[in-house]
């Protein structure tokens, strides 16, 4: 039971935003010198964050933001592929985790029955 409540500020290496509500993907530098996508954010090691957005991942890749943050030479292609797999395609979606249920509920409308004695 030695759980520290210290919460590091997560900053996207691409857009530099620190919105906690935003879904950030964590990349961790392994002790072996490699890099890995950390889906649960619990791997030990130096971590860097990027938004779960294709645009931010692409920007981080181009600017080498993750490399700079982790102080490593180069992020393997496989890591970026992994990140992109978890990215939210549409920027308008604020909750990528929730599944989109069918919205086409057209059978619920009550048919209009003209009542007698109703005059305009």
The total number of residues shown for the chain amounts to: 120
Q: What is the DSSP string of 71-120?
A: T-S---HHHHHHHHHTSBS-TT-S-TTS--------TTSPP--PPTT---
Contact status: 24 vs Zn ion (CB under 5 A): no
Q: Which stretch binds Zn ion (CB under 5 A): 10-18, 37-45, 84-92, 107-115?
A: 10-18
Compare residues 65 and 72 and give the one whose CB is closer to Zn ion. Answer: 65
Q: Which stretch binds Zn ion (CB under 5 A): 33-41, 48-56, 81-89, 110-118?
A: 48-56
Minimal distance, residue 115 CB to Zn ion, in Å:
57
- In this chain, which of 56, 66, 70, 83 binds Zn ion, going by CB under 5 A? 56
Minimal distance, residue 60 CB to Zn ion, in Å:
8
**Which H or E run includes 67?**
helix 65-70
Minimal distance, residue 70 CB to Zn ion, in Å:
16
Contact status: 84 vs Zn ion (CB under 5 A): no
Angstrom CA distances, 105 to 1, 95, 98, 99, 112, stand at 49, 22, 19, 17, 17
Contact status: 54 vs Zn ion (CB under 5 A): no
Rounded CA gap, 85 and 6, in Å?
29
- Residues of this chain that interact with Zn ion (CB under 5 A) are 12, 14-15, 51, 56
């Amino acid at each position: 039971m030695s759980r520290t409540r210290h919460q590091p500020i997560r900053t996207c290496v691409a857009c530099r935003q620190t919105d906690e509500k935003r879904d950030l993907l964590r990349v961790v530098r392994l002790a072996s010198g490699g890099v890995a996508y950390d889906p649960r954010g619990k791997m030990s090691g130096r971590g860097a964050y990027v938004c779960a957005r294709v645009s931010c991942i692409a920007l981080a890749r181009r600017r080498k933001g993750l490399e700079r943050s982790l102080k490593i030479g180069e992020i393997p292609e496989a890591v970026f592929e992994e990140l992109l797999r978890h990215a939210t395609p549409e920027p308008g979606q604020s909750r990528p985790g929730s599944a989109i249920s069918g919205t086409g509920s057209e059978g619920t409308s009550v048919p209009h029955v003209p009542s007698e004695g109703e005059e305009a």
